[in-house]
Amino acid sequence: MQFLIISCFLAFSFGQQPPLTDEEIQYWVKDGFGNLDVDPKDGILTQEELGKVFSTGDTDGDGNLTRTDFGAFMGLNFPFTDQLFNLFDWNKNGVLSKDEFVDKPLVAADQNGDNQHSRQEFDDFYTKVLRRFNQRLG
């Protein structure tokens, strides 16, 4: 399994799956952070670290993640791949730039302005995001 946020998305669409339990949401958030926090594994996600994750997912090296790249990167089991892709695609052009995948989410979730995600900041932000997506299932 690759990583979060960020590893639970492409296989299901809204009409095909029941809402997640709170425990399942927490699992995906915890799994996502663990898969992103790799170098170093220190409980902090930096812009550089997330940039490496982006580069890994950018399989053709064009500086963008397509919906296919993102889906492959996230894995087949995450229930909200399309919704998360659409959330990150700020300019709605159908691809994710590094700015959209790394910089903007980092700023959005950074509660204390230190330009990185602590474990708590990540958990708070993405738990809220997944709960919003989940409400649409029920």
Task: Say which residues have a Cβ less than 8 Å from residue 97's Cβ, sequence separation at least 6.
Answer: 63, 64
Q: Is 32 exposed, middle or buried (0-12, 13-18, 19+ CB in 10 A)?
A: buried
What does the H/E/C string look like for 97-120? EHHHHHHHHHHHHCCCCCCEEEHH
Tens-place pLDDT, residues 83-104 = 999 999 999 999 999 999 999 9
Q: Is 77 exposed, middle or buried (0-12, 13-18, 19+ CB in 10 A)?
A: middle
Q: Average of pLDDT values for 15-43?
A: 87
Are 5 and 84 a contacting pair, CB within 8 Å?
yes
List, in order of start, the domains of the chain with CATH numbers.
14-135 (1.10.238.10)
The continuous run of DSSP H or E covering 95 comes out as strand 95-97
16 pLDDT band, cuts 50/70/90, is: low
What pLDDT is recorded for position 83?
94
Q: What is the predicted pLDDT for the residue at 13?
A: 38
Q: Which amino acid is at 37?
A: D
Q: Which residue has better confidence, 10 or 109?
A: 109
Q: What is the Rg, in whole angstroms, of the alpha carbon atoms belonging to the chain?
A: 14
